[in-house]
């Protein structure tokens, strides 16, 4: 019976670890630095940039009328873990006489939480003909 409990526990832990890894993998439509580096290339048309990266947060023009698109993304990641422990033991009674009630209780609780933010700012500069001239990025984590 104990071996079955251990096997069930190991399967549950493996499932939780796989779900956590899947959550951390890039999801379709997620804006990441890898996506930007794979999708942007000089000479790409503005319409293709919008299709690949979505709408920019800010659009500006320089003195010569050339556009620059700014993508500014913030992601917040939270992680928490907790541990609980409990123990209890109850007594019994026999017939009309009470043998007594033995009670033992206890508990412990521990919880940790951590939060971090990642920012990614991408600036795409377009040439006069509306194609990507250059792009730059800045990523920070705090």
Q: Is the pTM of this model over 0.85?
A: no
Question: What's the DSSP call for residue 78?
Answer: E
Chain-centroid distance of CA 52 in Å reads: 22
* Cα atoms found within 13 Å of the Cα of residue 66, Cβ hemisphere only: 14
Nearest to 131 by CA among 72, 44, 50, 65: 44
Q: Specify whether the CB–CB gap between 127 and 91 falls below 8 A.
A: no
Q: Specify whether the CB–CB gap between 54 and 69 falls below 8 A.
A: no
Q: What count of other Cβ atoms lies within 10 Å of the Cβ of residue 125?
A: 16
Helix (H, G, I), strand (E, B) or coil at 90: coil
Alpha-carbon distances, residue 77 vs 42, 74, 105, 118 (angstroms): 32, 10, 37, 8
Q: Specify whether the CB–CB gap between 112 and 69 falls below 8 A.
A: no
Dist. CA 103–CA 92, nearest whole Å: 10
* Confidence at residue 17, expressed as pLDDT on a 0 to 100 scale: 46
Q: What is the pLDDT of residues 62-114, one digit of tens each?
A: 999 999 999 999 988 888 877 766 655 555 445 444 444 555 555 666 678 88
Per-domain residue ranges for the chain?
Answer: 31-141
* Confidence at residue 85, expressed as pLDDT on a 0 to 100 scale: 61
Q: What is the pLDDT of residues 105-141, one digit of tens each?
A: 556 666 788 899 999 999 999 999 999 999 999 999 9
* Confidence at residue 81, expressed as pLDDT on a 0 to 100 scale: 78
* Confidence at residue 58, expressed as pLDDT on a 0 to 100 scale: 97
Residue 6 has pLDDT above 50, yes or no: no
Residue 30 has pLDDT above 80, yes or no: yes
* Confidence at residue 87, expressed as pLDDT on a 0 to 100 scale: 58
* Confidence at residue 108, expressed as pLDDT on a 0 to 100 scale: 63
């Amino acid at each position: 019976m104990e071996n079955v409990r251990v096997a069930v526990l190991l399967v549950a832990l493996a499932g939780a670890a796989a779900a956590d890894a899947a959550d951390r993998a890039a999801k379709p439509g997620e804006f990441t630095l890898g996506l930007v580096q794979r999708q942007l290339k000089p000479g790409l048309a503005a319409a293709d940039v919008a299709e690949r990266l979505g709408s920019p947060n800010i659009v500006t023009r320089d003195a010569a009328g050339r556009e620059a698109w700014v993508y500014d993304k913030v992601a917040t990641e939270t992680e928490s873990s907790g541990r609980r422990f409990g123990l209890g033991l109850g007594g019994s009674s026999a017939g009309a006489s009470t043998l007594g009630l033995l009670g033992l209780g206890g508990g412990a609780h521990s919880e940790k939480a951590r939060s971090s933010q990642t920012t990614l700012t991408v600036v795409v500069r377009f040439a006069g003909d509306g194609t990507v001239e250059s792009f730059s990025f800045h990523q920070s984590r705090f």
